[in-house]
Amino acid sequence: MTDTGTQAGADGAALLVEREGPVETLVINDAPRNRMGLDFMDALEVEVARIADDPGVRAVVIRGAGEENFSVGMDLKELPEGIRRMGSPEALFDQRLRVLEAIEGLPKPVVAVLTGYCLGGGLELPLACHFRLAAADGARIGLPELDLGTVPAWGGSARLTRRVGRDHALDMILRAKKISGPEARRIGLVSEVWPNAELFQRARDLAHELAAMPALAVAEMLRCVVGAGDAPLAEGIAAERRAVLATLGTPDQREGIQAFLEKRKPRFNRG
């Protein structure tokens, strides 16, 4: 949570939803800074729940409106209103934690596109996504809450530590550092860095690639890998075995084997 302006999307909607076949794109609609205000979080919570139940959506992209910034985080001017609306500070932050946990737990891959400022909540949301792609130039990525005399509030410290390790997490958080896309790639915070002119198309291409994979197998692997955390190896292996049994004999599994034998590209998700 990093910004103090007043949120107002150009067309009045805090969250825009775009659909291209099996890929849904969620747009933080407050260009150029793309603050994640109260209305945005309410809309995001509803949309994530809908995506989870929509078999037609097989991959998701999350980006900021325009090309300048992903998000500067929470609109701090809305904090008193948020506390009043939700009933307490705990309830306000609980909602954000709940929404990010729902994104992380989606049985469909979620790709975040990091451009410009990705600060506070503007990094905590991407940390809950399964893939993070960053711009080669201009990205400023960080959790600078200590500059405001406070700390990350949407699970940022925990997720950042799991993504990049304790040393890099402490270096970023305690120094309120804002790092570039290439630096984020170097420490493992993002999986890919692309020239700015190619970034959004790459995110769409990746989402469509993921959407073309067998949906049940993707969902099972997300449960295994995302849910692994610090669980003992035996628990991870048991989860994998459950995934194997869940996909055994399905139409997609039969199609995959048949395509392999026929030396052609498989055509999944056809029923």
Q: What are the strands, taking DSSP E only, across 73-172?
A: 110-114, 117-119, 131-135, 140-142
* Residues taking part in catalysis: 124, 145
Q: Where are the domains of the chain?
A: 15-211, 215-261
Taking the C-alpha atoms of residue 252 and residue 152, their distance in angstroms, rounded to an integer, is 42
Contact present, 133 and 190 (Cβ < 8 Å): yes
pLDDT above 80 for 221: yes
The architecture in CATH of the region 15-211 reads Alpha-Beta Complex (3.90)
Residue type, 96: R
48 or 3: which leads in pLDDT: 48
Tens digits of per-residue pLDDT, 70-112? 999 999 899 999 999 999 999 999 999 999 999 999 999 999 9
Q: Identify the band that residue 255 occupies on the pLDDT scale cut at 50, 70 and 90.
A: very high
What is the distance in angstroms between the CA of the first residue and the CA of the last residue of the chain? 43
* pTM score, whole prediction: 0.93
Q: What are the structure tokens assigned to 146, written together?
A: 């200590």
State the pLDDT at residue 196. 97
Q: How many residues does the chain have?
A: 271
Tens digits of per-residue pLDDT, 108-163? 999 999 999 999 999 999 999 999 999 999 999 999 999 999 999 999 999 999 99
Q: What are the structure tokens assigned to 103, written together?
A: 């994104």
